[in-house]
Structure 1
Amino acid sequence: MASSMSINVLFSFIVLFSASCAVSYTIQDQFYQCITLHSDRSIPFSTAFFTPTSNATSFDSVLNSTALNLRCLEPPRQKPLLIFTALIESDVQAAVMCAKELKIQLRVRSGGHDYEGISFTSALGRSVPFILLDFAKLRAIKVDIEDNSAWVQAGATIGEVFYRISEKSKIHGYPAGLCTSLGIGGHITGGAYGPMMRKYGLGADNVVDARIVDASGRVLDRALMGEDLFWAIRGGGGGSFGIILAWKLRLVPVPSTVTVFTVPKTLETGATKLLNKWQHVAHKIDEDLFIRVVITTVNSTEGKKTVQTAYQALFLGRTDRLLEVMNHSFPELGLTRKDCVEMSWIQSVIYIAGFPSNTKPEFLLRGKSLFPAVYFKAKSDFLYVPVPETGLVGMWKKFLQEDSPIMIWNPYGGMMGKISESSIPFPHRKGVICMIQYLTPWTEGDMKTADKHISWIREFYEYMGTFASKFPREAYVNYRDLDLGMNKNANPTFLEASVWGKKYFKNNYDRLVVVKCKVDPDNFFWHEQSLPILPFKFGQDGKSLIH
């Protein structure tokens, strides 16, 4: 067996060396040959490999298939030289080994929801060609109700995960995102918040094991990777430490019946005073209750443009107790029994995601959104102090200047305030009132239109800086924002990367960099906002050694 492996390795070297010397052998050719040599089985090119030259129509279809933000598919964004769709987990190991042999960058896509698209395109231009490893076929889910757990491959969407859990039990759930087409691989690497976060914390707080391919092509579980790396991958951002193959999730109890409601208020019906009050109670209210505020522009009854604040909620219980909680803590909303709808937890997933009321849970197995992709730019903030009414009035004025702006205010408190900032890399915990997402979408693909909307959101973000967290002004890594700063090449300094790293991770940034240096000292895994390596490495005793 050993001599056979040696012959294969030697043959691989000869083929690759010969290919590098021949003009007719492109990087795509060399990568395919390398994968074939490293794979346990034959992989027909047409079923798993897509290039813009050999099968352009399929290439575009696969690349665009899960892209959330069309802005990331337009010039000057660089597209991959080749897309490799992994069919089994050992394909991921082969992809790492071959990308290293060919000295080409590897990017990985699980769901395609990266707000800046850096999981499947590059903002670095043609100077950094790359290959895209697509996880669309790696989406197996195995639920074990007796163990209160589920193993989930990284290509599965959270909607698929939710459905498979509900298929086995009506009283188990998982506290992850609100958008059901999110790929769970990347979702958890950023933290993974959702409507049960005030009760159970983040999705990343409820992961008990993982399998990851490291920079050497090894598959590591929690025991093999060690606690430092296991800590880092749960909220430390994707694309810095390795490639997630699968997560082992800890399931949480949910009632057989939950209650939801949506109550809209416009400026003409008291939206300003009500949002001011919400800021004082939403993070302190019963932890079974999650009330977010979705803010948009609509036409008023008089036909003029106005602001609408929609109070959308999930309550882990029935209507009677919900009304008691609301009448005690937030009577200003004026919630009535007719506003409340009782349903199962899986039905509430569909409700919160904004699907039509007649959508069947089985729709979640499609792993797709009902809504078309658009061009957009997004940003995020965290509030520790309420925005005063005067600040809200100024905010509305600027908000109404944009065509179709969206803000979503997500309440914190409850379990989120009880978990330490350093428990996992996600640091936004005690004292946070809410997280705000700002988003401006548009449908035209020209640069002039994009510049107009991006300029607006930057100005709006600047205005909100008066009220947002400071030193640093915090941001959510899963709402990636390249305006915060980006790596221009594979060798950013600690200080350069800290400009955005401290905003995402606060004091956890330092520990994340140390872990990065230990597990990927050659910086194989890098992108526009990956963690940097230091100009020294760590020995077996944990002490630093100068290069």
Structure 2
Amino acid sequence: MMCSLKSSILALVFVQTLLSSSSATSETLDKTFKQCLNQNSKLHIPFSDTFFTPENPSFTSVLNSTIMNFRYLLPSVQKPVIIFTPLQETHIQAAVTCSKQLGIHLRIRSGGHDYEGVSYASEIDHPFIIIDLAKLRNITIDIEDETAWVEAGATVGEFYYRISEKSRVHGFPAGMYNSVGMGGHITGGAYGSLLRKFGLGADNAIDARIIDVNGRVLDRKSMGEDLFWAIRGGGGGSFGIIIAWKLKLVRVPPIVTYLMIKKTMEEDDIKVLNKWQHVCDKFDDNLLIKVTMSATDPDEIGIRCATIHYQGLFLGKTSRLLQIMGRKFPELGVSRKDCLETTWIESTLYMGGYPYGTSLDILLQAKANFRSYFKAKSDFVRKPIPVTAITGLWKRLKQDNGAVIIFTPYGGMMNRISDTAIPFPHRKGTMYMIQYVSSWKDGKKSENLHMNWVRKLYKFMKPYVSKKPRTAYANYRDFDLGMNEKGNTSFKTASFWGYKYFKGNFKRLVKIKTVIDPGNFFRHEQSIPVLGIEPGNFFRHEQSIPVLGIEPGNFFRHERSIPVLAV
């Protein structure tokens, strides 16, 4: 134990020394890491295509290729010392081994959609590398078995497209944006237009391949049910590197109906929105109608308006949808001209914001259709908010020209899955989720203005949303909820954000983390913490030794043995 700890300390000192002097040290680190990879990989690594340092002309383009939030492109943000784009599992195993030996921190990126950039940036003053899984995107569809293996670097759009190549009556309940990477998407839960019928993407994950802290490739059987539970909704970057998911495909009808109604929001529309929140979670399970409110640019006299979109998917034909709407929600005034009968695969384009007639080939381009500087926050609503609060949202919306507020309904299958089935806990009793977004184009110039707007709106909504705790969606990562101190994930510090994302499931996540990664190798600003010998880590500084879990499973026990600390 002491020899291993001493080796780790020496490795860390070595890397810190390399990175603290000149550009030549960066070249030395480059060479050292490559040598280590060659020694530990079972297959050849073509470094010219997979290994990028700041001295490489392609470094910036590779780094920026999938970043969705431009706030993490600013010069003030710490950048990686190496980007490694592995081609095989053994390449990743070698990278884990070498990162541990050399004391270099890892960040894992599949699609680059992390809202606070933890997959490709760092708020922690410590050298790090990116393991970018963009080249691992193989998809194998088994229609007879109604399953698929999807590698982590594949996007949601690619997955949908490959399903449609095999079948017109199969789909999968993942996200609405085609450029999201499947590796990280499922780790946070993964919701989309099929969630009221089939639940989350993570609810339909039936196996996985993951590389753990010891560099082992594990599947569901070898990792055990605790770890498999944790990775389906417990957040990315805490437990290992997801290589691939085995997913259960779902049956969809050959014809579905897409619904879109757009209005310029006025007083009367507030009444309609109020009715929506009373019925949105009680519709037929085959129907989802989400609401998007957005601000318009100022007109010629400087007045800014708000628009409201009702966007829906019904797993059936228009005639049946019109019957449901006439009975349950006549206030919206849906008519046949607002509906489009189409296939499920084509509906994924429209739900993702693409116009009618867009080619399905765009699903294979893996390009984000929303990239900007932005800040987002989320809430869950368990009882209808009063009309006065809707009016307040409407008025505040018109104060920010980059503002978007999205209401996504729950109910249906979401009510029938236990809060503890996977780490994602926002189930029975949740009426809908709210996402607040403010985006801008001019970098630091107006950042404070937009950040303050979304934070004030979030504060305004406090009385009307979930309480004790006020909950949030893990895949909409929000550093305002709390951050681990300099990467030192103490339970006390992490609890500030952990219970908001996972409620009571947070305790189980911590216990699992302590067992499978006691040294806290896989960590970031909101990673799951470990329990340790000195759990509060009172004696600490910028380079203090991290806490390690001591015998968390309590294997060595008797009638008077010392008990383990429970979370």
> What TM-score results when the alignment is normalised by the length of structure 2?
0.89
Deviation of 1:545 (Å): 5.2
Letter in 1 for 2:513: K
8 Å CA contact retained: 2:265, 2:307: yes
SS in 2 for 1:101: helix
Question: Any residues of structure 2 matched to 1:135-534 within 5 Å, and which?
Answer: 135-268=133-266, 270-298=268-296, 304-371=303-370, 373-446=371-444, 448-534=445-531
Letter in 1 for 2:294: T
Deviation of 1:302 (Å): 10
Aligned to 2:58: 58
Deviation of 1:540 (Å): 6.8
Letter in 2 for 1:410: T
Deviation of 1:28 (Å): 2.3
Q: Residues 54-84 of structure 1: CA distance to partner in whole angstroms, max 9, x if unpaired?
A: x1x3000000000000001113311100000
Deviation of 1:269 (Å): 6.7
Deviation of 1:491 (Å): 2.5
Deviates more, 1:37-46 or 1:396-405: 37-46
8 Å CA contact retained: 1:273, 1:389: yes
Letter in 2 for 1:51: T
Instruction: Give the whole-Å Cα distance in 2 for the aligned partners of 1:28 and 1:282.
Output: 54
Letter in 1 for 2:477: R
SS in 1 for 2:391: helix
Aligned to 1:537: 551
Deviation of 1:299 (Å): 6.5
Instruction: Give the whole-Å Cα distance in 1 for the aligned partners of 2:323 and 2:478.
Output: 40
SS in 1 for 2:122: coil
Q: Residues 324-376 of structure 1: CA distance to partner in whole angstroms, max 9, x if unpaired?
A: 111111111000011110000000000111112221112211111345x2100
Instruction: Give the whole-Å Cα distance in 2 for the aligned partners of 1:519 and 1:286.
Output: 42
Instruction: Give the whole-Å Cα distance in 1 for the aligned partners of 2:267 and 2:353.
Output: 23
8 Å CA contact retained: 1:271, 1:308: no
Letter in 2 for 1:97: T
Instruction: Give the whole-Å Cα distance in 2 for the aligned partners of 1:390 and 1:221.
Output: 51
8 Å CA contact retained: 2:425, 2:505: yes
Instruction: Give the whole-Å Cα distance in 2 for the aligned partners of 1:200 and 1:289.
Output: 11
Aligned to 1:36: 38
Aligned to 2:540: none
Letter in 1 for 2:136: L
Instruction: Give the whole-Å Cα distance in 2 for the aligned partners of 1:142 and 1:376.
Output: 35
Aligned to 1:10: none
Aligned to 1:27: 29
Letter in 2 for 1:143: I
Deviation of 1:265 (Å): 2.6
Deviation of 1:459 (Å): 0.6
Deviation of 1:38 (Å): 1.3
Deviation of 1:26 (Å): 2.7
Letter in 2 for 1:324: Q
Instruction: Give the whole-Å Cα distance in 2 for the aligned partners of 1:443 and 1:490.
Output: 30
Letter in 1 for 2:161: Y
Instruction: Give the whole-Å Cα distance in 1 for the aligned partners of 2:219 and 2:400.
Output: 48
Gaps of 5+ in 2: 1-7, 19-23, 533-549, 558-562
SS in 2 for 1:71: helix
SS in 1 for 2:157: helix
Distance 1:299 1:443, change over 3 A: closer
Instruction: Give the whole-Å Cα distance in 1 for the aligned partners of 2:495 and 2:185.
Output: 22
8 Å CA contact retained: 2:43, 2:91: no
The one of 47, 50, 59 equivalent to 2:49 is 47
Deviation of 1:297 (Å): 1.6
Instruction: Give the whole-Å Cα distance in 1 for the aligned partners of 2:556 and 2:231.
Output: 20
Letter in 2 for 1:179: Y
Q: CA RMSD in A?
A: 2.0
Instruction: Give the whole-Å Cα distance in 2 for the aligned partners of 1:540 and 1:358.
Output: 61
Deviation of 1:542 (Å): 9.0
8 Å CA contact retained: 1:154, 1:245: yes
After TM superposition, what 4+ stretches of structure 1 lie above 4 angstroms from structure 2?
A: 19-25, 299-303, 542-546
Instruction: Give the whole-Å Cα distance in 1 for the aligned partners of 2:297 and 2:180.
Output: 31
8 Å CA contact retained: 1:172, 1:251: yes
Aligned to 1:95: 95
Instruction: Give the whole-Å Cα distance in 2 for the aligned partners of 1:355 and 1:243.
Output: 32
Deviation of 1:492 (Å): 2.7
